[in-house]
Amino acid sequence: MGNCQAIDAAALVIQHPCGRIERFYWPILASEVMRMNPGHYVSLIIPLPPSEDANQDNKAVRFTRVKLLRPSDTLALGHAYRLVTSQEVMEVLKAKKYAKKTRQHLESSEKLQHEQGNNLSSESYQSQVTKHERRRPRTAPANTAAMSSKSWQPSLQSISEFGS
């Protein structure tokens, strides 16, 4: 009798988008798999440990991340891989780019609001200072005559008047 688990561990599994499973019993380059399946990328399936509340009868593999492989990467025995279409890759890249722009926009708007909050607090401080100065009783300066002589007076020397 043979051991089926030993055979499965000595194989690498490639899952196609249509659900077909392909097994290889030797290491193979990702570029070879891509050449056999044009318009597809090879990705490594990174499984999660089973959750405690998960149904024990459910044999589906849960995964959180799919790591795209370079064409020069070698697919190792004992791992599961998945073929991903070029369209799926482009959609994910667009979604990541959109999420990054949204996150940057939110961060910049929060920073702007924070700066405006600081400006508003300094403006309110300035308004409080000016209100305080308005309430302060003003005392007349000792040399009022000296100040009135220095006040500005318009000069009309440049306008010539002609009489008739």
Range 108-114 average pLDDT: 80
Residue 131: inside a domain: no
Range 115-119 average pLDDT: 67
Residue 111: inside a domain: no
Residue 79: inside a domain: yes
- Dist. CA 63–CA 91, nearest whole Å: 19
The answer to whether the beta carbons of residues 64 and 49 sit under 8 Å apart is no
pLDDT at residue 92, rounded to an integer: 83
Lowest mean pLDDT among 29-43, 55-69, 126-140: 126-140
- Dist. CA 38–CA 133, nearest whole Å: 79
Residue 137: inside a domain: no
Residue 17: inside a domain: yes
| pTM of the shown model | 0.50
Give 164's pLDDT tier (boundaries 50, 70, 90).
low
Whether pLDDT at 34 is above 90: yes
Q: 49 is written with which tokens?
A: 């440990």
Residue 27: inside a domain: yes
pLDDT at residue 30, rounded to an integer: 93
- Residue keyed to tokens 């722009």: 101
Range 86-105 average pLDDT: 88
Residue 36: inside a domain: yes
Provide the CATH number for the domain around residue 24.
Answer: 3.10.20.30
Our count of domains for the chain comes to: 1
Q: Residue 34's domain spans which residues?
A: 8-48+59-86
Range 34-44 average pLDDT: 92
Residue 38: inside a domain: yes
- Dist. CA 119–CA 115, nearest whole Å: 6
